[in-house]
Chains A and B, each alone.
Chain A
Amino acid sequence: MAEKEATRAAYGRKLAELGEKYNFYVLDADLSGSTQTAVFAKKYPNRFFNCGIAEENMISVAAGIAATGVPAFASSFAMFACGRAFEQIRNSVAYPNLPVRVCASHAGITVGEDGATHQFCEDMAIMRALPNMTVLSPADSASTEAILEQLMTFSGPVYMRLGRYAVPQVYAKGEHGFKIGKGLVVADGKDVTIVATGIMVSAAIEARRELSSLGIDAAVIDIHTVKPLDNELIAEYCSKTGAVVTVEEHSVIGGLGDAVAALVAEKGGAKLKKLGINDEFGTSAPAGVLLEHYGLNAAGIVGKAKELLNK
């Protein structure tokens, strides 16, 4: 396994690399150092706009650029890109179905010390509700890069959540098999399925090892595309294992857990437990401490799986 890295770092690096082959614009709102769009800005200043601390304008400007026929990537912290500028995303981007890619870093609880005002755990819930919107949540550097490359020829609006926190690498560099809209079976199993997204995929793999030592054979599925959900794959594993644990660094309301729960409720065939932030605001602390505090780790996943299987 490679060293730990935050998905935002992979985003900035790959965006600058893709800038050579593809024509697109990149916009930021005074956080280009944090979101890592500064790497692109340095290489291609003529295709970069720093919009200052004005996210609403940034999203609609991106829409205007996209309306002239060139894709636009707009980045800020998730809280501001998707939270503050929600209505611009809805009306200027999603409704006219424009190729704007809102790539938001610092999503979820792992913003860490900045605390609740900056820890956005509702972004996927909000973005999932929008017609035309594709919602992406990559697990590591390799998946971020692979998905970003696919976005170069993808049509329609996209929301991609990226993290600040350096996470273990799930996939080997350059590994293929990522396809927007398709979940990935990271490990097969027959007793329980752990459906994870974003930085929780690596925790799910760790949980699988612990469960294995308890005699529980867990499958791990990486749902990097939260919308549209890979219903087929999840339904297959529902009937195969009969038990599903969803895990996300996001509220249990409206995110991956609810998307899977809605599917299970319709199709039947599995018991389900959701692991995520339980309808509460975050708090200040180092990211690693917070993940432990909220049970967003291997131990938390193992606990849910054992509850579900009555073990």
Chain B
Amino acid sequence: MENTTLLMLKEKAARIRMLSVDAVYRAKSGHPGGSLSIAEIVAYLYFNKMNVDPSDPQKPDRDRFVLSKGHCCPALYSALAIKGFFKEEELKNLRKLGAMLQGHPDMKSIPGVDMSTGSLGQGFSAACGMAARAKRESLSWRVYTVLGDGEIEEGQVWEAAMFANMYKLDNITAFIDSNGYQIDGAVKEVMDPNPIDDKFRAFGWQTFVIDGHDFEQIDRAVREAENCGRPAAIICRTVKGKGVSFMENNYTWHGKAPKDDEYAVAEKELTLAYKVALEESNNG
């Protein structure tokens, strides 16, 4: 990966984090922890990978993105806004009455959202459906989806994993955001889904285990996944709440908004990180 690209992506991830936490703070509810852990994955896909066009959100040959862990939509909405699918101002209306940006992704109201998600496990199956049609009709698009490590406790995920292998869906790449926490605590204490890579391998998937905050590693895995001839699962070791000191690895920030004083700290940290990333990108 070229250095200018790397610095640009770091800037996008930092901006996604800043906008996500701001949106959740203004909404007074939402899911900051898992939004912060997927910032690099989402930034990489929207700013370095996917064939999408903000001026034509429905273009038929676009790559598809399904946020199966739909509750982390602040990160997706922020990426879509930065990309130009809608104005960044919209983020301030998140979760408010009459707002376009619903509490979970709504494909009917939000330009750039390819599937309505939120009920865990279902987005993964829908992503497999999209890939299945493309495969049967030799359509060029690729399907990307992001699941949580808590989400994969849903039985439906493994039904879909079997389906993807059975129908040789080599056009789907699934990111597992392995941040180690779910609402009730550490996944290891609630219902341990590990070892995640062994499970996907047993279901016929090509697996990669990477640092989900490292763009070079994401890039390498995504490229290899495209040519492995099988459905691919990229298990991303991530930090829940990444970028906000008091949210990192603290499961209580799974699904609540920061209060005024907490937001002041978060905003300071995220803004500083963004400014540094922006400057480095501009100088890069």
Contacts and interface: CB of A to CB of B under 8 A. Distances in A.
Interface of A: 25, 46-47, 49, 51-52, 54, 56-57, 59-70, 72, 87-88, 91-92, 95-97
A236 to B, nearest CB: 35
A54 B159 contact: yes
B163 A25 contact: no
A64 B130 contact: yes
By Cβ-Cβ distance, the 6 closest A-B pairs, closest first, are A64-B129, A60-B125, A64-B126, A57-B159, A54-B159, A61-B129
B133 A56 contact: no
Interface residues of B, number: 34
Contact of A60 (B114, B126, B133): B126
Contacts of B155: 56
Contact of B159 (A56, A64, A95): A56
Q: Is the interface of A mostly helix, strand, loop or mixed?
A: helix
Contacts of A87: 119
Interface in B92-113: 106-108
A45 to B, nearest CB: 10
B210 interface: no
Given A49-B167, A56-B155, A64 B127 contact: yes
A56 B123 CA distance: 11
Given A69-B60, A87-B119, A57 B125 contact: yes
Nearest to B127: A64
A56 B122 CA distance: 8
A67 B66 CA distance: 11
A92 B107 contact: no
A65 B163 CA distance: 14
Contacts of A95: 106, 116
Contacts of A60: 121-126, 129, 156, 160
B133 A65 contact: yes
Highest count of chain A CB atoms <10 Å: which of B121, B129, B155: B129
Given A57-B125, A65-B132, A95-B106, 14 more contacts: A57-B160, A60-B124, A60-B160, A61-B129, A63-B115, A64-B126, A64-B127, A64-B128, A64-B129, A65-B133, A67-B115, A67-B130, A96-B107, A96-B115
Contacts of A67: 107, 114-115, 126, 129-130
Contacts of B106: 95-96
Nearest to A54: B159
Interface in B118-168: 118-119, 121-134, 136, 155-156, 159-160, 162-163, 166-167
A79 to B, nearest CB: 17
22 contacts: A25-B133, A49-B132, A52-B162, A57-B125, A57-B159, A60-B122, A60-B123, A60-B125, A60-B126, A61-B126, A61-B163, A63-B126, A63-B129, A64-B66, A64-B125, A64-B127, A64-B132, A65-B129, A67-B107, A92-B116, A92-B122, A96-B106
B220 to A, nearest CB: 28
Interface in B55-80: 60, 64, 66
A59 B128 CA distance: 11
A51 B124 CA distance: 14
A91 B159 contact: no
| Most chain A beta-carbon neighbours within 10 Å: one of B64, B122, B167 | B122
A92 B126 contact: yes
A57 B125 CA distance: 6
A57 B162 CA distance: 10
B118 A62 contact: no
B65 to A, nearest CB: 12
Nearest to A92: B122
Nearest to A95: B116
Contacts of B116: 91-92, 95-96
Nearest to A63: B126
A66 B128 CA distance: 12
Contacts of B127: 64
A33 to B, nearest CB: 19
B128 A61 contact: yes
B157 to A, nearest CB: 9
A33 B257 CA distance: 52
A51 B163 CA distance: 7
Nearest to B115: A67
A173 to B, nearest CB: 34
A96 B108 CA distance: 6
